[in-house]
Amino acid sequence: MPADQPNPAVAFAKHDHSDCAHRILDRAEKLSEARGVRLTPVRRRTLEILLESHRAMGAYEVLERLAQDGFGHQPPVAYRALDFLVEHGLAHRIRRLNAFAACMAPGQTHNPVFFICRACQSVAESSTPELRDRIDAAADAIGFEVERANVEALGLCPACADREE
Amino acid sequence: MPADQPNPAVAFAKHDHSDCAHRILDRAEKLSEARGVRLTPVRRRTLEILLESHRAMGAYEVLERLAQDGFGHQPPVAYRALDFLVEHGLAHRIRRLNAFAACMAPGQTHNPVFFICRACQSVAESSTPELRDRIDAAADAIGFEVERANVEALGLCPACADREE
DNA sequence: TCATGTATGTTATATCGTAACAAGTCAAGG
DNA sequence: CCTTGACTTGTTACGATATAACATACATGA
Ligand SMILES: [Zn+2]
Ligand SMILES: [Zn+2]
Ligand SMILES: [Zn+2]
Ligand SMILES: [Zn+2]
């Protein structure tokens, strides 16, 4: 596993998270540069906000933070920035929560599985190509062409599982 | 494959769909009876509406149909019936579409994967236990306890893929 | 400089979902 | 038969999520 491939377990463990955040922001800058797209102030700030924790955040929660920082106060401000991040693989949409989370492995082709703790709302992203292979196999069997696949697992993170019992 | 285990490919193919619908309605009646829950008129009608096609339907679309049939006109009427069906495994929630689809294999323990055609909105449900095993394995690796997993693949069904080119 | 594409911001509205309460149904026990 | 309690259906009202449409600003290169 390369150095910049984070261990998904870290999302549920105590760790120097500002380190995660800085590493990923740097990577986001470089990726945007390389692709010729602009990581503008709102977009960058939006990513920073998502990176403040391993939780998923709703668009309105992000918006509130952006507004405090002097950006616009209306929903499209947040949705546009979030859509940009999602489109460029810098964030993911967590559909079960109607929320967004920073991607923890931007730039790497990954078929993410999201593990969502129903108690503390933290989200871990694990990269599992074999899973995608299985989905493609099932799709082939019925002649379906998969363009994107989304896997979300709901349950309890280690800490919250301990706490329940 | 047992006779009552439908081929997921059928969702995307021409077939006698009223046959699907009747078979599943019968099964739903029996399952409800066996579990001591009541498949009341609204609930049954809601399932019938979902079963009219292999598409997913939004709650408000279902509500409109229920209202035409003399049931209540307010959102909770539809949401309650749909929640009942989902809770008892007679329907599934398709999160990517904010919509609901009848379960095509009610009563069987299944770890469904949904194949959603982005062109014609039809949904096929495929049952793939190995997939769940993969998810559980990835979860184990980080100490996460999976309670429910949701897999949704977006793409093109065979017919729509042909039509695109 | 000026045309062009892109980004940001606003108003307004669409779409999806739920809380809270009232009224009706139904079966079990007195 | 009548009460009681669990459940079901219906309503009003509201909350939460998301987008359309348009105006303004800003970059970038002819
Ligand atoms: Zn971290
Ligand atoms: Zn947790
Ligand atoms: Zn059918
Ligand atoms: Zn199709």
The tens digit of pLDDT for each residue in B75-134 reads 999 999 999 999 999 999 999 999 999 999 998 877 899 999 998 889 999 988 889 999
pTM of the entire predicted model: 0.92
Q: Which chain A residue has its CA at the smallest distance from B128's CA?
A: A138
**pLDDT tens sequence across A55-84:** 999 999 999 999 999 999 999 999 999 999
Query: Is B155's CB less than 7 Å from nucleic acid strand D?
Result: no
Predicted confidence (pLDDT) at residue B57 exceeds the cutoff of 90: yes
pLDDT of B41 higher than 90: yes
Does residue B5 have a pLDDT over 60?
A: no
pLDDT tops 70 at residue A144: yes
Residue A109 and residue A103: Cα distance in Å, rounded? 11
Sign of CA dihedral B69, B72, B73, B75: negative
Judge: A138–B126 Cβ closer than 8 Å, yes or no: yes
Counting ligands in written order, the one closest to the CA of A159 is 2
Sign for the pseudo-dihedral over CA of A57, A58, A64, A68: positive
Residue A2: per-residue pLDDT: 44
How high is the pLDDT of residue B111?
86
The pLDDT tens digits for A82-138 are 999 999 999 999 999 999 999 999 988 778 999 999 988 899 999 888 899 999 999
- Domain A8-164 bears CATH identifier 1.20.140.10: no
| Protein-contacted positions of strand C (CB under 7 Å) | 6-12, 15-20
Nearest to B32 by CA among B45, B23, B44, B21: B44
Strand, helix or coil at B115? strand
Give domain limits for chain B. 8-164
The whole-number pLDDT of residue B7 equals 73
Q: Ligand 1 centroid to A16 CA: how many Å?
A: 7
Query: What is the number of the ligand closest to the CA of B15?
Result: 3
Query: What does the CA dihedral B82, B84, B89, B94 come to, rounded to 10 degrees?
Result: 30
Distance from CA of A101 to the nearest CA of B (A): 16
